[in-house]
Amino acid sequence: MTTSNLHIYILAAPLLGAFAVNLLGRLSRRWVAPLTLGVLGYATIAALVVLARVLRDGTISYTVGNWRPPFGIELVIDPLGALMLLLISAVALTATFSSLTSIERELPGREHLFFTMYLLLIAGLTGLALTGDAFNLYVLLEITSITTYGLIAMGRGRAPLASFNYIIMGSIGACFYLLGVGYLYLLTGTLNMADIARILQGLQETAALATAFAFILVGLWIKMAFFPLHSWLPTAYTQAPSGASVMIAPLMTKVTVFLMIRVIFSIFTPTYAFFHHPGVQAGIVWAAALAIVCASALALAQRDLKRMLTYIIVAEVGYMVGGVWLANTQGMTGAILHIVNDALMTLCLFLAAAAIIYRTGSLGFDSLQGLYRRMPITMAAFTVGAFSMIGIPPTAGFFSKWYLLLGGIEASQWGYVAALVFSSLVNAVLFFRIIEIAYFRTGEAGHGHGHAVVRVEEAPLMMLAPLVLAALALIAVGFGSGPLVNGVIRLAIPGGF
């Protein structure tokens, strides 16, 4: 194994790991944990090395099997892709610790099946960050979607129904994307992104190109649950086993937002996407503002912590879509930084939710009473995640919101700015409602001077450690957002933009 092709092994490791987990896991369940963690640990370290290399040497292009592009499959690792690679593997690794514990209880005897799909999903996500081919992107998108359907369907109660609902919407989204790619293939005769971009330069006036762009965009919007195409997400993520949602919720929507950026930059060019059709860019920013406001309002109506979080995810998708479509450097910086930050805060909050449900068995608001006493460390980490969602410095969420707002002000998109501020305020209400319930005691003992000793019942260390890590990461990324933006994200945005 030479280190120069490290990036391909980041993709191969979870793929092979999935088979190994399935085969060896049948023999003994004890294989599942070390294999999964080993594979993802390796992927994380390798992703770190690859990111450092890309930042030093520039974009890496790799042809699988040495078939020259545009005929062969090309993997392209640019700074943005490398950042996503690290984000995916690090978040997945952190989530897995918690996942292993909760799946042991939720799906006893089926751990090997669960983690087979789990690793396949991560392999798919990794592939999405790497691929330089429009059709492969479709294939990988379907790999991630199908494994996600499976993982969600393993949940209890109405999970199969939620998963079915997701399959319908997800398949429509995939069809739209595929149709768009079909148009592009008809126009250019190639599927390699760089090749398509090169050929498209002279074809910008054609209606077919606009159609292709619209289909691809809407397809991706369905997959990322951009309001009002979000209806599948809340139920699917709420019903999923907590071991699945801790990894799916932080990563899926964020990777799809990344794909939107990838498609805009690598296939259509920003000039075409943002400025060729007058009114479209501003219209999408307004749609994003509407998405943020509506999803935030819907979140207010929820009485279950996990369900509330899923609506916040939908609102955050609006943040990022709006940020990208502001069509200026600040907005794009904010969107990319928010991909990182939102993945981390969603991870933190879902890990906390998983820890709470492990101990209390429910996430209904009523069952959260007195949690600050019962699970002080979990709730402390939850509070950090909540502050980040609200956007309180120095947590990470503040800084991406900063760039997004700045981009909105620069573009004079006051509707979007107002929507962001509104959503921050709604988030404050949402989370302080939870904090208040968890901080105050149950109704009858509410006079405050009681000295009833509440036993501390923290979640197991395997769930607590990743949670604390995620909370600390939020603060660290907040303080480090300057270097992160200057060192990585600025490189990821093409020059002149």
Partner 1 sequence: MAYVHSIWPLAAVLLPLLATVPIMLSGRSPNLRESWTLLAGGGMFAIVASMLPTVLAGGGFVLTLAEVVPGVPIQLRVDALGMFFALVASFLWIFTSVYSIGYMRALEEHDQTRYFASFAVAIAATIGVAFSANLLTLYLFYEVLSLSTYPLVTHEQNAEARASGRKYLTYILGTSIGLVLPAMLIVYQLTGTLDFTHGGILAGKASPATLSLLLLLFVLGFAKAGVMPFHGWLPAAMVAPTPVSAFLHGVAVVKVGVFSILRVVFDIFGPDLLRSLDLGVALTYFVSITILFASLVALTQDNLKRRLAYSTIGQLSYMILGAGMVSAAGMTGGVLHIAMHAFGKITLFFCAGAIYVASHKKYISEMDGLGRKMPITYAAFFLGALSIIGMPPLGGFLSKWNLLVGAVQSHQMVLVAVLLGSSLLNAAYFFPIIYRGFFAPAPAGEAREGIREAPLFCLLPLSVTALCSLLLFFYPTVFLQLVQRALFP
Q: What are the residues binding partner 1 (CB under 8 A)?
A: 387, 390-394, 399, 402, 405-406, 409-410, 417, 421, 424-425, 428, 432, 436, 439-441, 446-451, 478-483, 485-486
In whole angstroms, the minimum distance from the beta carbon of 403 to partner 1 comes to: 8
In whole angstroms, the minimum distance from the beta carbon of 270 to partner 1 comes to: 22
Which CB sits closer to partner 1, 160 or 370? 370
In whole angstroms, the minimum distance from the beta carbon of 382 to partner 1 comes to: 14
- DSSP class of 448: S
Which CB sits closer to partner 1, 21 or 292? 292
Which CB sits closer to partner 1, 179 or 421? 421
Positive or negative CA dihedral for 397, 403, 406, 412?
negative
Positive or negative CA dihedral for 136, 140, 141, 145?
positive
In whole angstroms, the minimum distance from the beta carbon of 317 to partner 1 comes to: 21
In whole angstroms, the minimum distance from the beta carbon of 435 to partner 1 comes to: 8
Query: What is the maximal distance between C-alpha atoms in the chain?
Result: 77
Positive or negative CA dihedral for 248, 254, 257, 261?
negative
- Angle at CA 337, nearest 5°, toward 54 and 385? 125
9, 82, 115, 130, 373 from 163: Cα distances, Å: 31, 31, 18, 27, 36
Residue with the two structure tokens 């400025």: 275
Residue with the two structure tokens 């997800």: 170
Which CB sits closer to partner 1, 446 or 494? 446
Question: Could you tell me the two tokens for 129?
Answer: 């960050």
Strand pairing partners for 77?
60
Of the candidates 464, 191, 480, the residue with the CA atom closest to the CA atom of residue 351 = 464
Which CB sits closer to partner 1, 253 or 383? 383
In whole angstroms, the minimum distance from the beta carbon of 289 to partner 1 comes to: 15
Which CB sits closer to partner 1, 270 or 480? 480
Rg (CA), the chain: 22
Distance CA 237, CA 162 (A): 8
- Residues 6 or more apart from 9 whose CB is under 8 A from it? 1, 42, 46
Which CB sits closer to partner 1, 248 or 484? 484
Which CB sits closer to partner 1, 94 or 369? 369
Strands 60-63 and 74-77: antiparallel
In whole angstroms, the minimum distance from the beta carbon of 98 to partner 1 comes to: 26
- Residues 6 or more apart from 183 whose CB is under 8 A from it? 208, 209, 211, 212, 215
In whole angstroms, the minimum distance from the beta carbon of 307 to partner 1 comes to: 23
Contacts by 407-411, CB closer than 8 A, 24 or more apart:
407/323, 407/326, 407/328, 407/329, 407/330, 407/331, 407/332, 407/333, 407/334, 408/322, 408/326, 408/331, 410/326, 410/328, 410/330, 410/331, 411/285, 411/326, 411/327, 411/328, 411/331
- Residues 6 or more apart from 252 whose CB is under 8 A from it? 125, 144, 148, 224
In whole angstroms, the minimum distance from the beta carbon of 296 to partner 1 comes to: 13
Which CB sits closer to partner 1, 64 or 421? 421
Which CB sits closer to partner 1, 425 or 472? 425
Which CB sits closer to partner 1, 218 or 396? 396
Distance CA 42, CA 371 (A): 36
Give the ranges where 191-279 is alpha helix by DSSP (H).
Answer: 193-200, 207-224, 232-239, 242-262, 270
